[in-house]
Amino acid sequence: MINTCSNGSNLSGLASEDFRKEINHKETALFILKNSLGMEVAVTNYGCAILSIMVPDREGKYANVILGHDSIDHVINSPEPFLSTTIGRYGNRIAKGKFTLYGEEHQLTINNGPNSLHGGPTGFHTRVWDAVQPDETTVFFNYTSADGEEGFPGKVEVEMTYRLENETNALCIEYRATTDKATVINLTNHGFFNLAGIANPTPTVLNNILTINADFYVPIDEVSIPTGEILKVEGTPMDFRTPHTIGERIDEPFQQLKNGAGYDHCYVLNKTENGELSLAATCYEPESGRTMEVYTTENGMQLYTGNWLNGFAGAKGATFPARSAVCFEAQCFPDTPNKSHFPSAVLLPGDEYQQLTIYKFGVKD
């Protein structure tokens, strides 16, 4: 691990010594990213968890707009193990933790009802990544996932970059991965965003005004596994093609919202070509004036409205009640290994998995 930048003083008030720990002969640490506009992002190499994102409101006041913790022990023992972490080897759910690849069945660890979720209980979110910070705007992470880890085939080499742009308040997350054996891969970041800023209690996101660039979504059953259909959002509470507040329709007696206890669905993003970087969603918090735009090369984006947050404590005394965050998880569709008509999540030797997702912050008067 190499950290060339001082992180002794930062807007979030996090302390380096609170993030030093040895886990399986690897050291965890705090990394502070800063850009020329004053934006600051704090991360740790345990699960590549994002601890804080400090951006201004319309009055120029900075606040942390992502749910996180203020020590490595709190990250490790978080009641929400995926809180603003990197997710892998397969983000979202795989039905019954099983899939067949080239005639061979693979059994994964079950950790979400009858299903496997987010790579299993010891997925990428629990791993200590190798980290190098070459300058104030960038940190590189690397992790080798062993053949058979959590039941997934193939040794997978993952490279990931967190980078702040200097001309705009944007956090870019780049992913690359290779394998020595046919496998499935679906990486994402599970950032829990609240543009009002975390607090005690953190306010709900129900007033956030949301748009999503998607004509279709992936419906789910009662255990949140895709039914296999791709349905139109038109005429349903799932339609965010034009701006709506998150809370406007979240409690309507619509079966999909009942199945997800709110929004917890993958949207099929409108694309002119596969792999293009395009606008997926925009979010606006009217009290602070803060905005966020999400751009991604992925075909899907999971919208999750923090339905299962239960009020636990986070950084600097903040608490996180139900629906106090919104997640925009760029990814393949859930349960793709068991849905042959979904765009493939298979990675073969000699090929490279690539993804770019950007979270761009601004203000509106």
Which residues fall within 8 angstroms of residue 347, CB to CB, at 6 or more apart? 154, 156, 177, 178, 179, 182, 183, 184, 185, 353
From 190, 265, 285, 298, active-site residue: 190
47: left (phi over 0), alpha (psi -120 to 50) or beta: left
Q: Which two tokens stand for residue 325?
A: 């965050």
Q: Taking the chain, what is the end-to-end CA distance rounded to the nearest angstrom?
A: 42
**Position 160, amino acid:** M
Cβ–Cβ < 8 Å for 192, 314: no
Q: What is the largest CA-CA distance in the chain?
A: 59
Which residues fall within 8 angstroms of residue 329, CB to CB, at 6 or more apart? 87, 91, 92, 188, 189, 190, 301, 302, 304
Best CA proximity match to 194, nearest among 72, 305, 91, 61: 305
Best CA proximity match to 129, nearest among 203, 214, 31: 31
Best CA proximity match to 178, nearest among 155, 149, 151: 155
Cα dihedral 193, 199, 200, 201, rounded to 10, equals -40
From 150, 285, 298, 329, active-site residue: 329
Let me know if 329 is a catalytic residue.
yes
Give me the residue label for tokens 């979110």.
Answer: 125
Q: Which residues are catalytic?
A: 190, 329
